[in-house]
Amino acid sequence: MKVFRLTKTRSCTVAVLFAAILIYSGGELWQTLTWPPFFSFDETLEVDYVYQLTQGHLPTFFGGAQFNPLKLAYPYNVQWRYQHPPLFYLLETPFFKLGDTLNHPIRGIWLMRAFVYLLGITLILVSFWVARWAFGRSSKATYIVPLLVASNRCLPSVVFNYTLATLWVALLFGCTCKIIRTFPRKLSSSTRFFWVAVVALAPLTRLSTIPIMMLCCGAVAILMIIRHSQATLRDWLHLVILPVVIAVLSSSWFYIRLHRMSGNFTGSQPAWSASHLGRTTDISLLKAIHHGLVL
């Protein structure tokens, strides 16, 4: 009877994940087929970021796009993707080179898109793992999560860094839930090491990942305080102190660079945005809310 129950559970898991991957694949195939290579200025800048890494340097805002193989006319000669951390683009670099994108840009960009698609598949699988630790193995909600993730239309399979950032957020939440459920007796050394790695690289995925990283680290710290009688100095070192310190050391150079180039740690260019895009950043919160209601 127990074997039958396990077999049934595994069959349900496989069926749900297969359905989620089909949903994701259908939507992403439609999008990539209807989104011509280099048609989007944003995607061109993403590919350009990878190109500039292959040339041994990071892009700069006013340096513009250095890789525009189809010689398409874009509205602005700036590189506004320069403010994003480099992890995604470093991961795309082997595919840029493998596709010989300099000589075959269309083949190269499709290969880079394929990598983003694989990141999306990985995200679906990871989301199921996260749901099991968040809701419990026996919860039916676990089987809904990958279907919801697969249906998310904000995860394009074109060359954008959103999918990797979302995957990293899922890993942060999953690790946090696993630590909470297994601390301290069943918390393995491999989980501790993986947690350190995920936290350490979070600031290098996307700026928006940092507050989520701190939220997860804060949750682990609260857990340690609540279970202070079980938490050792080694636990504090491995689960709170070491991950945060490594995260700061691994990414501070990039955000300091942004501050030097733009005057703020986000790398935004408010003066340029105001003059070219009509974006105003020096208004109060109440005025911003009123402006949004009027629109």
**pLDDT category of residue 73 using cuts at 50, 70 and 90:** confident
**pLDDT category of residue 268 using cuts at 50, 70 and 90:** confident
Per residue, the 3-state secondary structure of the chain, as one string, reads CHHHHHHHHHHHHHHHHHHHHHHHHHHHHHHHHHCCCCCCHHHHHHHHHHHHHHCCCCCCCCCCCCCCCCCCCCCCCCCHHHHCCCHHHHHHHHHHHHCCCCCCHHHHHHHHHHHHHHHHHHHHHHHHHHHHHHHCCCCHHHHCHHHHHHCCCCCCCCCCCHHHHHHHHHHHHHHHHHHHHHCCCCCCHHHHHHHHHHHHHHHHCCCCHHHHHHHHHHHHHHHHHHCCCCCCHHHHHHHHHHHHHHHHHHHHHHHHHHHHHHCCCCCCCHHHHHHHCCCCCCCCHHHHHHHHHHC
**pLDDT category of residue 226 using cuts at 50, 70 and 90:** very high
Q: Does residue 278 come out as left (phi exceeding 0), alpha (psi in the -120 to 50 range) or beta?
A: left
**pLDDT category of residue 4 using cuts at 50, 70 and 90:** very low
> pLDDT tens digits, residue range 84-103?
999 999 999 999 999 999 99
**pLDDT category of residue 137 using cuts at 50, 70 and 90:** confident
- The pLDDT score that the predictor gives to residue 274 is 78
Q: Over pLDDT 70: what percentage of the chain?
A: 92
Query: Averaged over 132-155, what is the pLDDT?
Result: 90
- The pLDDT score that the predictor gives to residue 289 is 67
Q: Tell me: pLDDT of 3 over 50.
A: no
Q: Tell me: pLDDT of 245 over 50.
A: yes
**pLDDT category of residue 288 using cuts at 50, 70 and 90:** low
Query: Averaged over 156-182, what is the pLDDT?
Result: 94
> pLDDT tens digits, residue range 183-203?
988 899 999 999 999 999 999
Q: Tell me: pLDDT of 171 over 90.
A: yes
Query: Averaged over 118-124, what is the pLDDT?
Result: 96
